[in-house]
Structure formats: C-alpha cells, structure tokens
Amino acid sequence: MNKRFTALCVYMLLCAVAGLIFFLSPLSLTKAKNKSFTISLAYCGDEKKSSGGWLMAFEPAEGKYRLIKAAGKMKLSGSAYNRAYELRRKIEGAEPLRDSFFYACLDENVSPEILSSFLGSWRREPRKLTAFTSAFAKIFSGSRSNLNTADRLSVYFEILRAKPLDFSYIEVDSAKNDEEEEKGDERLLSEKIKIRFTDASGKKHDIEKTLSFLRSKGFDIMDFKKTKARKKTEIISYDSGGYGARKLAGELGIKDSAVKVKKEKYNIYEAEIIAGEDFAFVK
C-alpha cells in the first residue's frame, strides 16, 4: 500500500512539474490564448553556402498554418539568433517583438516543407507517423533554438492535427525590404556603432585584444570601465531599432536572452556590453 501511494505521489508530482513547465513556456502561453505566432527557421551552416530560410506561421484560432519563404537569395550572418531575427525582419519588413520571437536552426538538407507532406496521410497509414516524427525532430531538435521541450511538443501536436487544406505555402519577395535594410546598415557601418564596454568579469586578462576585435567589426568604443563582478553577461540597447545591440551580440556569439532594451533620453551610445564572468574574451 505504501509503495503504491508513494508511486502515485511521484507520478502526480511529475505531472505537476510537467504541467508547470508547459504553461510557463512563452510559446505555450501564446498558443493557450489562441494568439497567432511565428517561428523563424533560418539556415545556420556556412555563410558562403547557406542563406535564407522559412517562417512557419500559426493561427490556432482559425486552424490555419502558413509556410513562408523569401524569393531569391538572402544575406544572413552572425549567430543563430541573429540570422533568424534578420530572416524574419527581412521577410515581414518590420522589427519582430522580442517577447514573442521564436526560432530554430535548419541544416542544409532539411526543409520544413516535408512536414506538410504528411498531413492527414498518417491517419490512413499509421506508419507515416514515425516518418513525420523523424522529420519534425530533424527540424526542431537542434540545440540552437529558444524553444524548450514544452514548446516543441506544442508545435508537434499543432502540426499533427492539421489537415492538408489547413496548410498554405507562400513565397514572398523580400528584395525591396532587403535593399532598404542594406542602405540602413551601410549608413550605420559608415558612422560606426558607438558602444560602451563595461568589464564586470572580475578577472585579469588582455582586454585590448577584445577591444581591437570589436573595432575591426565596425564598433567605436567610446568608453571603457570596470565594475564589481557579476555572473552573467548583458547587452543593453539604447537605440529603439536595436541594430547595434543585435550586431554586437551576433559578433560575440551571445544569446538573445542577454540583450535588454533601456530607454535613456540623453545617451551617446547605441549599445553597451557588460561582460560578466561567463564572457569569452578574445585570446
């Protein structure tokens, strides 16, 4: 009796933890409210060989799903987050909201189109469910993503229950948006991106190599200072557009969760990096 009771308690505890993780995940919360959401799927291989990607848009309230691809080639560079962010911005022509920005990386030989080929057919041929699961895992099982396990399960069952007519394929001409952004990028690069570097690592190192690296990437280091040690690195964007902070994060390989936006009326910097104990200085 005691063993059964203990086993039941453990089972209920696991269910409670799983449920908490599920309902606290950003994507699951968005889906639970029947709000539309989009996942940016960018190719993250060699910059010379890979470019572009897909947007997978979900509209749970209407039960509709769209695969959106940019026509022609698209220049993407930097970290996985930076590529996915730029992909969505170039296709939609607007800045994505960071609190509802979801992304994953694609390998060169993988396309999300394969998922739509299984819609409905697995009900008639159950063995195709295995093929669908395998294809889904290739797309969403990578470590370079901000989707957690609960998010991936939500997307898995959302696509699985869709019917062929619920899925649509769209190809978008992003050339105009791309040209406008390139002009903006060229202007920013020619002006140099003004940043402040704050060393909060609490360690001794050759800081000049890191500063030289940033200067070679188009950053103008207006100020440098040291402060008390902190564990996590943080990048602060003082520019509403956030280009400088995103580029800084991309060049240093820093995750998007470290980028924060701070509004200050009088500030000469576009971004600031506070290098914590986890920061990898250039050697």
> Of 234, 237, 233, 252, which Cα lies nearest the Cα of 193?
237
d(CA 54, CA 14): 35
Q: Would you write out the chain's pLDDT as a tens digit for each of its 283 residues?
A: 566 656 556 656 655 554 544 445 556 666 656 677 888 888 876 655 556 788 888 887 777 788 888 776 677 777 777 788 788 878 877 767 665 678 888 877 777 877 777 776 777 777 778 888 888 888 887 667 778 777 888 888 888 877 776 777 777 766 555 555 555 555 444 567 889 899 999 888 788 888 888 888 888 888 888 889 999 999 988 876 677 888 888 888 887 777 888 876 667 788 899 999 988 888 8
H or E, element range at 81 = helix 80-92
Domain ranges of the chain: 23-176, 192-275
d(CA 103, CA 36): 15
Say what the pTM is. Answer: 0.55
> Of 213, 218, 229, which Cα lies nearest the Cα of 278?
229
36, 64 Cβ separation under 8 angstroms: no
Classify domain 23-176 at the CATH class level: alpha beta
SS (H, E, C) 168-217: EEEEECCHHHHHHHHHHHHHHHHHCEEEEEEECCCCCCCHHHHHHHHHHC
Same fold flag, 23-176 and 192-275: no
d(CA 35, CA 58): 9
Phi-psi map region of 110: left, alpha, beta (phi>0 left; psi -120 to 50 alpha) = beta
Contacts of 176 (CB under 8 A, 6+ apart): 93
Can you name the residues that pair with 65 across neighbouring β-strands?
58, 167
The domain 192-275 is classified under which CATH number: 3.60.9.10, 3.30.70.2390, 1.10.357.10, 3.40.50.2300?
3.30.70.2390
